[in-house]
């Protein structure tokens, strides 16, 4: 997370900006990153309110630029500006969707999770991050190298967030139920499954100094277990990975991250594996770069002093 140099902050004029700006300032304190404020709006004039926000943040010592843009719909606009500005994190406030429309439409938050090629922080909770629980959700049952790299990134980002918040890092991994017909004998016994998953978590415990009591390996599906545990622990932030499944597979099965998004009560940081990021950059960049982006921007010089945390 400390490698983030530019952060895209999506400002929704229909929602209060106090909560998302508080999160953006916390991230900027941790990463020393430049904040780029974006309002997705068809109107051609740059909102004076957006400029007021920019000036207020600059007065507080942050490096900030602001932009109003439109590229057909909100998620395409966000991705276009993210690519254009070279932002390595997007912060967006969650807007609850109508459950009746989800079977027929892909809500913008879902589409953003699927197609945006960088980490996304979805702001949901109004509670303070200070001293809170950071819940890192990992799948330690996969031996795929790219998948393991993603899991390490999830725990590493969670650890960075504990340094920011003064909170505590918890690890959760959902394990399968034992199946007598499983080809691998390990998956036939509950004890052997639990033992294997704990063994796989040991490296994370050693590297990030996680207490044994903060390791949660429970039987069940991740999309049910993670929100339940986040609620039980009163988590401030839940860090998860996404495979960014698209097309028919995404429509039929959804992504675990999308299913968790509406259920979990905390803020959610969603990360992607490197191969997925590369694929999404190839998928989204060409048409977005060639599209006509209706935009106005007011930027502050990038060498403006950035606020330094005490």
Same domain, 133 and 259: yes
pLDDT tens profile 62-91: 999 999 999 989 999 999 999 999 999 999
How far apart CA 154 and CA 272 sit, in angstroms, is 9
Same domain, 118 and 130: no
| Mean pLDDT to the nearest integer, 24-41 | 93
For residue 199 the two structure tokens come to 């063994």
pLDDT band at 250 (very low <50, low <70, confident <90, very high): very low
Same domain, 80 and 29: yes
Long-range residue pairs from 257-260, CB within 8 A, at least 24 positions apart, any chain: 257/113, 258/110, 258/113, 258/114, 259/223, 260/137, 260/222, 260/223, 260/226, 260/227
How far apart CA 253 and CA 190 sit, in angstroms, is 26
pLDDT band at 30 (very low <50, low <70, confident <90, very high): confident
Domain-located, residue 307: no
Residue ranges making up the domain that contains 113: 1-124+276-300
How many domains does the chain contain in total?
A: 2
Res 309 pLDDT > 80: no
Same domain, 18 and 146: no
CATH number, domain containing residue 90: 3.40.50.12370
Same domain, 98 and 151: no
| Mean pLDDT to the nearest integer, 219-235 | 93
The CA-CA-CA angle for residues 273, 21, 235, to 5°, reads 60
Contact (CB, 8 A) for 74 and 66: no
Per-residue confidence (pLDDT) for residue 305, from 0 to 100: 37
3-state helix, strand, coil in the chain (%, to 5): 45, 20, 35
Same domain, 139 and 254: yes
Per-residue confidence (pLDDT) for residue 192, from 0 to 100: 86
- Cβ neighbours of residue 289 closer than 8 Å, sequence gap 6 or more: 80, 83, 84
Domain-located, residue 308: no
Same domain, 104 and 161: no
Same domain, 66 and 130: no
Same domain, 133 and 236: yes
How far apart CA 161 and CA 169 sit, in angstroms, is 9
Per-residue confidence (pLDDT) for residue 288, from 0 to 100: 43
pLDDT band at 99 (very low <50, low <70, confident <90, very high): low
Same domain, 53 and 112: yes
Res 243 pLDDT > 90: no
> For 44-48, 132-136, 294-298, which range has the lowest pLDDT when averaged over its residues?
294-298
> For 13-17, 149-153, 270-274, which range has the lowest pLDDT when averaged over its residues?
270-274
Same domain, 1 and 68: yes
| Mean pLDDT to the nearest integer, 181-195 | 73
């Amino acid at each position: 997370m400390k490698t983030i140099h530019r952060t895209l902050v999506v400002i929704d004029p229909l929602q209060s900006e106090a909560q998302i700006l508080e999160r953006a300032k916390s991230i900027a304190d941790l990463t020393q990153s430049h904040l780029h404020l974006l309002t997705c709006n068809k109107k051609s004039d740059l909102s004076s309110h957006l400029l007021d926000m920019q000036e207020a943040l600059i007065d507080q010592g942050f490096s900030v630029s602001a932009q109003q843009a439109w590229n057909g719909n909100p998620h395409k606009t966000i991705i276009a500006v993210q690519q254009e500005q070279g932002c390595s994190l997007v912060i967006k406030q969650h807007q609850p969707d109508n459950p009746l429309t989800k079977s027929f439409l892909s809500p913008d938050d879902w589409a953003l999770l699927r197609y945006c090629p960088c980490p996304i922080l979805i702001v949901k909770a109004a509670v303070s991050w200070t001293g809170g629980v950071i819940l890192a959700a990992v799948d330690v049952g996969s031996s795929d190298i790219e998948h393991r790299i993603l899991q390490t990134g999830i725990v590493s980002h969670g650890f960075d967030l504990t340094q920011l918040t003064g909170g505590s890092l918890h690890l959760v991994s959902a394990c399968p139920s034992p199946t007598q017909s499983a080809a691998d004998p390990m998956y036939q016994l509950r004890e052997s499954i639990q033992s294997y998953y704990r063994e796989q978590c040991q490296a994370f415990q050693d590297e990030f100094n996680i207490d044994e009591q903060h390791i949660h390996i429970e039987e069940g599906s991740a999309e049910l277990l993670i929100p339940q545990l986040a609620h039980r622990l009163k988590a401030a932030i839940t860090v998860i990975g996404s495979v960014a499944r698209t097309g028919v597979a995404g429509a039929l099965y959804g992504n675990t991250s999308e299913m968790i998004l509406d259920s979990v009560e905390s803020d959610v940081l969603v990360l992607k594996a490197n191969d997925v990021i590369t694929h999404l950059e190839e998928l989204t960049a060409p048409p977005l770069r060639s599209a006509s982006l209706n935009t106005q921007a007011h930027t502050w010089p990038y060498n403006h002093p950035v606020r330094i945390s005490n």
